[in-house]
Amino acid sequence: MIVQIPDVLTAEQVQFARFRLLAAEWVDGLATAGHQGAQVKRNRQLPEGSPVARELGDIILGALERHPLFISAALPGRVYPPMFNRYESGETFGTHVDNALRLIPGSAERLRTDLSATLFLADPADYDGGELLIEDTYGVHSIKLPAGHLVLYASSSLHRVEPVTRGARLASFFWVQSMVRDEGQRTLLFDLDTCLQRLAQTRADEATRVQLTGCYHNLLRMWSQP
């Protein structure tokens, strides 16, 4: 399941993030690459302990908590602290799969990566290339969204970032451990929740909507994990 989530950040928040990022100190992206990623990763990113990364990460996490589409699609249990990367001058990230487990910075806890997220912080007109290509059973999907928009996809997906040939691609990226581990179950719940919202908007039969809402929560109760 690939879900595009618009307007995670406001225009003002994007402008502030860009101002902070363009003045930040960047390091080689290999600093956090695993064995697989190190073979194909050529970009830069903020250090995980960077004050700028923490500041902007808190803004993003706050926005996600208030975004109903993100909550519906991800059913988040835990969210990895947002990180930030920068691509320019031919930088790229070749085809890879994200690591299944990530160590939470500053702790001994590990997060299971059920979902990967990319939040775009540069407008498509500001750079050439840099498309996020995600492979699934339906083919390869090219994603290049307006600044402030996010794409959410299964961490088990093969994906890559095409070389940036002009300008700079700025983005935040992070992972989600969902309360519903199984992708098929999570997709069914998302489809059901989407239908329930449409029924509410069209003022459909109230008794039917309430019954279906009960089905949604009973399935969530059955499938969710603490």
Over residues 112-151, the pLDDT tens digits come to 999 999 999 999 999 999 999 999 999 999 999 999 999 9
CB atoms within 10 A of CB 147: 21
pLDDT at 141: 98
Q: Give residue for tokens 């003022």.
A: 203
**Do β-strands 115-120 and 150-154 pair in parallel, antiparallel, or remain unpaired?**
antiparallel
pLDDT at 32: 67
Q: Chain centroid to CA 100: how far?
A: 15
- In order of 55, 162, 171, the CA distances from 101 in angstroms are 24, 25, 21
Distance CA 56, CA 148 (A): 13
pLDDT at 34: 60
Distance CA 209, CA 203 (A): 9
CB atoms within 10 A of CB 173: 18
pLDDT at 200: 87
Weakly modelled stretches of the chain, pLDDT under 50 = none
pLDDT at 8: 98
**CATH numbers and ranges of domains, the chain:** 3-178 (2.60.120.620), 183-223 (4.10.860.20)
